[in-house]
């Protein structure tokens, strides 16, 4: 389907919430499914990716039920998990596939994991390698899905990961929780630490310091009750929309602001954005805040490589912020964007250039020239939810608006995205 996004005629305004954090939601469902006792999760996103994880555990015999807005899981411990009758479809969700590979590598049965065309192109060798060293038997098609996992007794390892990836780290930790001995992982930059925080909430002990994390094997998890904070990766689209339209004043309430995720706020502030945290508190061990974003004219900046893991999903919309800013913005070392739901460098380059934006790619560095007002165009999401939402935000500042095709993929992480944009005046 195609949706028309018109240029706004007046500043954005209002107050709203975004769906529960997708990353945290996956982890809550995964751990609740192998914990002993009941787990109750509030504010679980209805996005397609989180639903893929729920469906996967349903196929392995885990009982879920909804009580008003709460997702309840009847956990029977690691050993209650049953071999699924057929292949598990992870849909579009890399987190589902990579984290389940780690978890299932240590279960005493065989599984097959598959996904959509996009997921079948994504690199799985990065999880297969460390898991194989732990004694797992995981085979793919040239390092890609479909994956076949033959469950084995695992042993702890010391692993220095070549990529700063929370999915790799989490796959190894989920295997490590079941392994004999201790597992230690070190990464080049610190990635999001939701798995560590969530596991502690379920009673496990995981030690972390800087870029290193250590877990002892043979740990049981106990069911718990938690509320998933709003997703900063979804809030980022509304924040950039508000920050780039002068005079806007938008409050986004109850958003997770874990420092391993909040690079987008730092980058926008470095560009001169007016973003205030009006209230902060903790939920499920995660820091949460209400954000107030006021619009103005942003300035180009240089985004350093160490920000990449903390900002990784927000680059598409930051490219849009840069296109609407004054002067160039240099994004350093963002090569990982090529391995997301689409090649996000190629996709954003192609689509933004249709809107008159100059974007230069040199190796893994990307420079976006501020274009001021953008040109009307017909653009395409490449089936990638974050590309679709980034382009929609660009459309709000485009004379004559844009036509965005293949927009339904926003349901992967932010069902109701267009309604939310409408609610604040888009
Ligand atoms: C995620 C980690 C990141 C991120 C993805 C979600 C997670 O991927 O891009 O959207 O929930 O662990 P990588 O681990 O590949 O960097």
pLDDT, position 64 = 98
Task: State the Cα–Cα distance between residues 328 and 364, nearest whole angstrom.
Answer: 16
| DSSP 8-state symbol, 336 | G
Across the strands, what pairs with 288?
Answer: 256, 281
Answer whether 420 contacts ligand 1 (Cβ < 6 A).
no
Phi-psi sector, 101: left (phi>0), alpha (psi -120 to 50), beta = alpha
Distance in Å, CA 359 to ligand 1 centroid: 25
Distance in Å, CA 420 to ligand 1 centroid: 24
Answer whether 95 contacts ligand 1 (Cβ < 6 A).
yes
Q: What's the Rg (C-alpha) of the chain?
A: 21
Answer whether 413 contacts ligand 1 (Cβ < 6 A).
no
Candidate from 31, 91, 95 with most ligand 1 atoms within 8 A of CB, to mutate: 95
pLDDT, position 372 = 76
The catalytic site residues sit at 313
Helix (H) or strand (E) holding 302: strand 302-303
Across the strands, what pairs with 180?
Answer: 155
Nearest one of 277, 278, 361, 366 to 330, comparing CA atoms: 366
- Number of neighbours of residue 71 by Cβ within 10 angstroms: 22
Report yes or no: 134 and 103 within 8 Å, Cβ to Cβ.
no
Candidate from 166, 286, 316, 412 with most ligand 1 atoms within 8 A of CB, to mutate: 166
pLDDT, position 422 = 98
pLDDT, position 96 = 99
pLDDT, position 373 = 80
Nearest one of 126, 141, 205 to 172, comparing CA atoms: 126
Report yes or no: 28 and 223 within 8 Å, Cβ to Cβ.
no
| DSSP 8-state symbol, 285 | T
Per-residue pLDDT of the chain (426 residues; tens, 9 = 90+): 999 999 999 999 999 999 999 999 999 999 999 999 999 999 999 999 999 999 999 999 999 999 999 999 999 999 999 999 999 999 999 999 999 999 999 999 999 999 999 999 999 999 999 999 999 999 999 999 999 999 999 999 999 999 999 999 999 999 999 999 999 999 999 999 999 999 999 999 999 999 999 999 999 999 999 999 999 999 999 999 999 999 999 999 999 999 999 999 999 999 999 999 999 999 989 999 999 999 999 999 999 999 999 999 999 999 999 999 999 999 999 999 999 999 999 999 999 999 999 999 999 999 999 987 899 999 999 999 999 999 999 999 999 999 999 999 999 999 999 999 999 999
Exposure string for 215-250, b = 16+ CB within 10 A, e = fewer: bbbebebbbbebbbbbbbbbbbbbbbbbbbbeebbb
Three-state DSSP at 261 gives coil
């Amino acid at each position: 389907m195609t949706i028309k996004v018109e240029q706004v005629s007046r500043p954005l305004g209002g107050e709203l919430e975004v769906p529960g954090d997708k990353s945290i939601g996956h982890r809550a469902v995964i751990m609740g499914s192998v914990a002993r006792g009941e787990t109750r999760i509030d504010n679980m996103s209805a996005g397609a990716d989180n639903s893929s994880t729920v469906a996967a555990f349903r196929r392995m015999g885990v009982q879920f039920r909804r009580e008003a807005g709460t997702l309840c899981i009847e956990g029977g411990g690691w050993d209650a998990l049953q071999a699924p009758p057929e292949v598990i479809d992870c849909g579009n969700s890399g987190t589902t596939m990579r984290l389940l590979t780690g978890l299932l590598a240590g279960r005493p049965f065989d599984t097959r994991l598959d996904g959509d065309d996009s997921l079948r192109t994504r690199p799985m060798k990065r999880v297969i390698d460390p898991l194989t060293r732990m004694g797992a038997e995981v085979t793919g098609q040239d390092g890609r899905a479909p994956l076949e996992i033959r469950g084995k007794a695992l042993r702890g390892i010391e692993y220095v990961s070549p990529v700063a990836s929370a999915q790799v780290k989490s796959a190894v930790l989920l295997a490590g929780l079941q392994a004999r001995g201790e597992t230690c992982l070190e990464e080049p930059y610190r990635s999001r630490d939701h798995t560590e925080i969530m596991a502690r909430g379920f009673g496990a002990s995981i030690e972390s310091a800087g870029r290193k994390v250590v877990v002892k094997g043979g740990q049981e998890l106990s069911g718990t009750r938690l509320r998933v904070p709003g997703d900063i990766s979804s809030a980022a689209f509304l924040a950039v929309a508000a920050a780039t339209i002068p005079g806007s004043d938008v409050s986004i309430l109850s958003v997770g602001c874990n420092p391993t995720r909040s690079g987008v706020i730092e980058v926008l502030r470095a560009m001169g954005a007016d973003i205030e945290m009006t209230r902060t508190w903790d939920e499920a061990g995660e820091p949460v805040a209400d954000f107030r974003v006021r619009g103005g004219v942003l300035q180009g900046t240089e985004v350093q490589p160490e920000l990449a893991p903390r900002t990784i999903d927000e680059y598409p919309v930051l490219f849009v912020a840069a296109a609407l800013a004054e002067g160039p913005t240099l994004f350093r070392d963002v090569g990982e964007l090529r391995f997301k739901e689409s090649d996000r460098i190629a996709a954003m380059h192609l689509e933004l250039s249709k809107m008159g934006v100059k974007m230069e790619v040199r190796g893994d560095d990307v420079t976006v020239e501020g274009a001021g007002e953008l040109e009307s165009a017909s653009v395409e999401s490449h089936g990638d939810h974050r590309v679709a939402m980034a382009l929609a935000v660009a459309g709000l500042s485009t004379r004559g608006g844009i036509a965005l095709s293949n927009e339904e993929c926003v349901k992967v992480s932010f069902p109701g995205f267009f309604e939310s944009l409408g609610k604040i005046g888009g």
